[in-house]
Structures are given as C-alpha cells and as structure tokens.
Amino acid sequence: MTSHWLAPRTDSPVHAEVPLPGSKSITNRALVLAALADGPSVLRAPLRSRDSELMVGTLRALGVGVADGPDGSWLVTPAPLTGPAELDCGLAGTVMRFVPPAAALAKGTVRFDGDPRARERPMGTILEALRALGADIDGDALPFALHGTGHLTGGQVVIDASHSSQFVSGLLLSGARYDNGITVVHDGKPVPSLPHIEMTVEMLRAHGVEVEDDEPNTWRVRPGVITARDWDIEPDLSNATPFLAAAAVTGGQVTVPGWPTRTTQPGDAIREVLTLMGCEVVLDERGLTVRGADVLTGIDMDLRHASELSPTIAAIAALAEGPTRLRGIAHIRGHETDRLAALTAEINRLGGDAEETEDGLVIRPRPLHGGVWGAYADHRMATAGAIIGLRVDGVEVDDIGTTAKTMPDFPAMWRTMLDGAAVEAL
C-alpha cells in the first residue's frame, strides 16, 4: 500500500482496548539465540511483520529450520550455518546488525544487501569489529560479503557504539559461540538506548550464557553453549504508543492489555512521558490505560534511552500547549531515515513550528492545517502522521504501508480503534 492515506479525523474522544502483537526487539533477539542454541526452541506470540519475516528469511537461508506453528508460533531448529547464501536485510536494523555476527560462524560466503535506504545506514562499526575478531569481509556497508570458515576466534574488541546500541547487542548475541567468547568495550559518546542492551543481556542469561556487565561501557560474554528455551513474547510497547497517543490527543481512553509489570523494552517510558504531559496513566491487571487530559502540556525531556518514541512524542507535542524540547536523540539521524530532519520538515509543512537542534528537537505548537505528511519509508514517521491526523483535517500520509515493517496491518488496527468515535474520514 503506497498510495496516499487520508488519516481519519475525529472530534470525539477515542475509547478502545487495543491488543498489540509481539515485540519486534524481543522476537528478533529470540530468533537469533534460538538459531544458535543447542536444541529446538518455540517462540510463542512472536511479531509477524516485515522486520521479523526478514530475520526468519535470513536464518532459513543460512540453514536454520524455522517452521510455522498452528497457533502463530515459530519452531526454530538449529543447524550448522552454511553458505553460499544471499541475505535480504530490507530496512531492518536488527537484521543488518544482528545477523552478520552470527553469519561469521557459517562456512562459505554470505552476501548481505537491503533496501536503498539501508545502504546509507551506519554499518562500519560492526563490520570493523568482526574483522578485528577474525572475520573476512568485503565492504564497509550494504552490500557486503562475509567469507566464513565455520568459526570465529573472538576476543576483545573496542568500538564506538554512540550511533546505535544494536552494534553492541549484535556482537553479544553470537559471542558465546566464538572460540574465545567476546568482550565489547565502548569508547565514545554515551551509548543510546541502553535498555536494548539490557534486554540483550537478560535474554542471553535466560539462555544460560554467562555475561558480565558490571564494568561501565564493557560487556563480556564467556564462550559456551546457548541453551535452548521457549519464549512467550511480550506485546510491542513502542508499537503501542501511537494508540495511547490517540487517547492523549482526543481526551479519550485507550487500554493496551498484557502490558508487563517489569520489562526491558524502552517503550515503557511512554508512561512517564504521558504523565508529564498531563494524562492519567494506570497500570493494573487489565493492562496499561491512558486517559487523555483536557490540556496537554509541553515537556523538556532527555529521550536518549527511549529514542524510538521520538516521532510519537513529537506528534503529540505539535498538538499540545506550550513548547516541547526533546534532547539526547542526535543518533536518530541514522535510523530508517534522518528522523530529526524528517519530523522538522513534516511538522512545519503542516504549519507547525519545529526546530532541529544539535541533539534533538524543539516544537512550539501552532495551528496546523492539512497536507501531505511524508513517511520517508519509516514506520514511526507514518504513525506520527496518523496521530496528527486525528485532530487536523486533511492529513494524508504518503506511504502508510511502511508501517508493515513492525505492524502487519496498522490501518485496520487504527480504524478498529476509532470505531467508537465519530470518524469523519476513513
């Protein structure tokens, strides 16, 4: 679906319960760990979207068995990784950064490529790290080729992970299978999205892997077996945020069932954000419920460790009262698109006042008008346009289909959520 999508507008408060599919971050980590484990694993309630299907496709191409269960689960049966193989990373950061460290264990040549925008995303850090650990790689970005011998020496590597925590996670996920394990030392500006590294460490330990992370900016994975285990995948909390934002901007109420009481997902930070903006936020046995406020207030917040929420929060901020400053998110210039430039351009295109700073955004609310909202092949940019369209006539998202990256049918979910409101355009 690439034609313009007229975002539904409503004058009524949204009231809905919105079940969400599984977490992309947990699903794709669990797939890699299951592929390298010592026996079969079952992933229950995984996310089935473009990013996770791309991960499954790369693992199958390397010889791993991934079978569809009748209940939507995946049964992963490990096998020795082998080439030759041609792998499509699409625009999935978790695929292009998690799979090469695993493919370094394959025997044969493995070639990687992806979408045109993926060729612009930072990859040099992880490829140079793999070279330092003993891998033979042609190229410094997509497309590149990895010539595997069936094992990797491993050891200590020093990297600058200030552009993405995925560089650290990708190396850690496969490190136990390297001859000498792996020690990753970060040297540079602070690592963004640290909760994602904590998620990786927690999942490794759940697979019986010995990980040491008590020293700042250093992670050590001992060589050894990755024990097979089954996973029940949590709902994707970052994917939940546009629906919770709908409650915030319409003064309504939205509940996301199954919200975990304890999680390493950075999306959990939306609870604090919406509370600061004036919403009522309740976590109980039903899940997470957000009740919108009569007036949404601007905030000043460092989102370094939950930067994936930036497009959602920017969209809410454009409809709030008072300025919002988002800090610590310079690294999202290297996400699916340059999100700082894209958010600034699209909010201003609709009559808003957004300004890009060195490490974030300043948004000063102004009356908005309709127009085309560019998605930039970025799922979170597309959902940000949908949020603004709830309160502004005539907002057209130019590529709502890009949301399939992490949500199989976002437009249908959005329409279902709005069934109880007076929707002016569907």
Tens digit of each residue's pLDDT (9 = 90 or more) over 41-94? 999 999 999 999 999 999 999 999 999 998 999 999 999 999 999 999 999 999
Q: Rounded distance, CA 327 to CA 418, Å?
A: 32
Eight-class DSSP state of 320: S
Tokens 């030759």, residue?
84
Topology alike, domains 5-21+236-420 and 24-221 = yes
The type of residue at 424 is E
How much is the average pLDDT of 245-252? 98
Retrieve residue 255's tokens: 């509940």
Q: Is the separation of the CB atoms in 415 and 10 below 8 Å?
A: no
pLDDT bin (cut points 50, 70, 90) of residue 192 is confident
Indicate whether 257 pLDDT > 60: yes
What integer pLDDT is reported at residue 420 of this predicted model?
Answer: 62
3-state secondary structure 39-56: CCEEEECCCCCHHHHHHH
**Residues 41, 23, 191, 214: is their CA dihedral positive or negative?**
negative
pLDDT bin (cut points 50, 70, 90) of residue 423 is very low
Q: Which CATH number does the domain 24-221 belong to among 3.40.50.450, 2.40.30.10, 3.65.10.10, 3.40.640.10? A: 3.65.10.10
Tokens 């929707």, residue?
423
Binding site: residue ranges?
24-25, 29, 93, 121, 164-166, 193, 308, 335, 339, 380, 405
Indicate whether 426 pLDDT > 50: no
How much is the average pLDDT of 357-383? 96
What integer pLDDT is reported at residue 425 of this predicted model?
Answer: 37
Indicate whether 424 pLDDT > 80: no
Binding site for phosphoenolpyruvate: residue ranges?
24, 93, 121, 166, 339, 380, 405
Indicate whether 121 pLDDT > 70: yes
What integer pLDDT is reported at residue 147 of this predicted model?
Answer: 98
Indicate whether 422 pLDDT > 50: no
What integer pLDDT is reported at residue 113 of this predicted model?
Answer: 98
Tens digit of each residue's pLDDT (9 = 90 or more) over 325-355? 999 999 999 888 999 999 999 999 999 999 9
Q: Rounded distance, CA 77 to CA 154, Å?
A: 25
Q: H or E stretch including 345?
A: helix 339-349
Tokens 């939950």, residue?
306
Tokens 């394990």, residue?
181
Alpha helix locations (H) across 104-193? Answer: 124-132, 166-175
Q: Find the catalytic residue in 234, 308, 336, 346.
A: 308
How much is the average pLDDT of 379-387? 97
Tens digit of each residue's pLDDT (9 = 90 or more) over 181-190? 999 999 999 9
- Has 308 been annotated as catalytic? yes
Retrieve residue 71's tokens: 């209940």
Indicate whether 300 pLDDT > 80: yes
3-state secondary structure 65-80: EEEECCCCCEEEECCC
The type of residue at 365 is P
Tokens 């279902």, residue?
416
The CA radius of gyration of the chain, in Å to the nearest whole number, is 21
**Residues 255, 94, 226, 183: is their CA dihedral positive or negative?**
negative
Angle between helices 310-318 and 379-389 (to 10 degrees): 20
Indicate whether 102 pLDDT > 70: yes
- Give the start-to-end residue ranges of the domains of the chain: 5-21+236-420, 24-221
To the nearest whole percent, how much of the chain has pLDDT over 90?
94
Tens digit of each residue's pLDDT (9 = 90 or more) over 306-316? 999 999 999 99
Strands 218-221 and 182-186: antiparallel
CATH number for the domain formed by residue range(s) 5-21+236-420: 3.65.10.10
What integer pLDDT is reported at residue 419 of this predicted model?
Answer: 85
Averaged confidence pLDDT in the chain? 95
Query: For the whole model, what pTM was predicted?
Result: 0.88
Eight-class DSSP state of 412: H
What integer pLDDT is reported at residue 343 of this predicted model?
Answer: 98
To the nearest whole percent, how much of the chain has pLDDT over 70?
98
Q: Rounded distance, CA 248 to CA 384, Å?
A: 13
Eight-class DSSP state of 347: H
